[in-house]
Amino acid sequence: MLHKWITKLLWTSLCLAAAGASATEIRVCQQRRMGEPCVTLRQAVPNLASWGLSNRISSFDIRSGSWQMCTGTGFGGNCRVFENSVSDLQGTPWQNAISSLRPMFHGGGGWGNWTGGGAVDPRWAVLFDRPGFRGTPLTVTGAVSNLARLGFGNRASSMRLSGSTRWQLCSEPGYRGRCRTLGSSSASLNSQGLDRQVMSMRPVR
């Protein structure tokens, strides 16, 4: 009996750890050293003007995840992935220059410090766990062989894609099972027979 209780406790701890690892949160502020006014974000923002923060960020606190910040809207311009908080952007190219940002994670192509223009791969997809692009979002920028590792296995119900990119979505890990290739900028996964049934995905040419 004790053995079963310990096993259950360990399993619960692992699940909670995995859930925490998949969460993303950042607090961005207009003043140095996290001075107000500040806004806490948990999903991609293609245009910070909608939050009144375009070209106004002077510091940020990354509470979980890694975040790509770009000088252009729609994740264009000069971009860089930050993994640590920065209390003062003064003297850097990012002071009052950030126009869009989004959470990132290690996909098939990894991440790094990117420069705008042809060096940036513009492919990205945002999954939502509710229809109509609502609910909890997950931004994907590369191939993901098992969404369960990100706490999003069999959860996606709708999605948005960047530009004219195309993505293959599959019902099993490793790009197996029932697969569909989507090329529309936004889609309801119910119409594709994949509502809450996506376990892996990758961009395709």
Token pair in block for residue 187: 């889609």
- pTM exceeding the 0.85 threshold for the entire prediction: no
Q: What percent of the chain lies above the pLDDT cut of 70?
A: 77
Give the end of a domain, one of 95, 119, 143: 119
What does the buried/exposed string (b/e) look like for 63-94 if buried means 16 or more CB atoms within 10 Å of the residue's CB?
eebbbbbbbbbebbbbbbbbeeebeebeeeeb
- Please check whether residue 114 lies inside any domain of the structure: yes
- Please check whether residue 15 lies inside any domain of the structure: no
In the prediction, which pLDDT does 173 show?
95
In the prediction, which pLDDT does 33 show?
94
Q: Which domain holds residue 161?
A: 125-204
**Do 109 and 163 fall within a single domain?**
no
The residues near 144 (Cβ < 8 Å, ≥ 6 apart) are: 107, 108, 150, 200, 201, 202
In the prediction, which pLDDT does 198 show?
96
- Please check whether residue 11 lies inside any domain of the structure: no
CATH number for the domain including 184? 2.60.20.10
pLDDT in tens, 74-120: 888 888 888 899 999 998 889 999 999 988 764 444 443 333 333 33
**Do 100 and 144 fall within a single domain?**
no
